[in-house]
Amino acid sequence: FNLFLFNFLHLIGPTQKMNLFQSITSALDNTLASDPTAVIFGEDVAFGGVFRCTVGLRDKYGKDRVFNTPLCEQGIVGFGIGVAAAGATAIAEIQFADYIFPAFDQIVNEAAKYRYRSGNMYDCGKLTIRAPWGCVGHGSLYHSQSPEAFFAHCPGLKIVIPRGPVQAKGLLLSCIADENPCIFFEPKILYRAAVEQVPVEAYTIPLTQAEVLQEGSDVTLVAWGTQIHVLREVANMAQEKLGVSCEVIDLQSILPWDIETVCKSVVKTGRLVISHEAPVTGGFAAEISSTVQEECFLNLEAPITRVCGYDTPFPHIFEPFYIPDKWKCFDAIKKMINY
């Protein structure tokens, strides 16, 4: 699939070296250029935002299309719902995912239910909410959270988390084009971490499809966003140190999630490890674990294992002990193989 994606992207047209935040800027640039109704708004987006994802867009498209808002997340999302309901393309930025909670009511009770409540007479499907997400090495309790599981409990939304520049652009453009309100979480620690050849022109990646990054026969490893890079390293460690073949799956879309791809892999390997930075209790790994147990019970060779954050607020100096690093994931694989 990776070779297919590589060839597909080069067929689109010229590519350019981009890191993750630049690929997001490129996606937003493509959208503003092709859709005259598209607007981008949020705290500090006019000058580029704290992570520079919107840099240069106000100068290029004008202050009526890229503009700052008051520091009020409920107001940002409420305004976005109105813009989208009026037929325009609304791209709202929440400066950090940790501060999306003041907008929780607007997202869960209004945006997600607007189409259903009106019997499809009205909708706000042209709303996309972007937010930097996950740990960054020094963010502590208010700048490191991974709140995807809160929204995965709400029908009517789509939740997407990319792992790199190519995925970020294609998935963001898919969110913007989708007819449902989408939340697009951007792993902030990856904004400048990797550079890839990314097509300059617009392209999309399906929102309902997980990607098998590495095929294997002994253990299935599932994650999304930053944790995918941890599991790829763990898969190499398992092969070198244990002779264990791991299949690595990037979920990409949290809601809806690709049950078929994950279950097909577990039927083959008989073992499943799921890892995310969010606390273990009620995290999305629990939903995956429950579904796979229901669908693949007779194929399992060991209990499904979740390697996640602890049930505490995200710490500061103790972050290295909190996050599900490669050693915790590697230890989980060893225990599963010896079960």
Catalytic residue IDs: 73, 143
Give 55-74 as a DSSP string: TTHHHHH-TTTEEE--S-HH
As given in the structure block, the two tokens for residue 47 are 């000058």
Beta 253-255 vs 158-160: how paired, if at all?
Answer: antiparallel
Eight-state DSSP code of residue 313:
P
Query: What is the C-alpha to C-alpha distance for residues 295 and 282, in angstroms, rounded to an integer?
Result: 20
Query: What is the C-alpha to C-alpha distance for residues 242 and 239, in angstroms, rounded to an integer?
Result: 6
Eight-state DSSP code of residue 286:
H
Query: What is the C-alpha to C-alpha distance for residues 19 and 3, in angstroms, rounded to an integer?
Result: 20
C-alpha dist (Å) from residue 91 to 27, 35, 87, 130 = 11, 12, 13, 7
Cross-strand bridge partners of residue 90: 39, 127
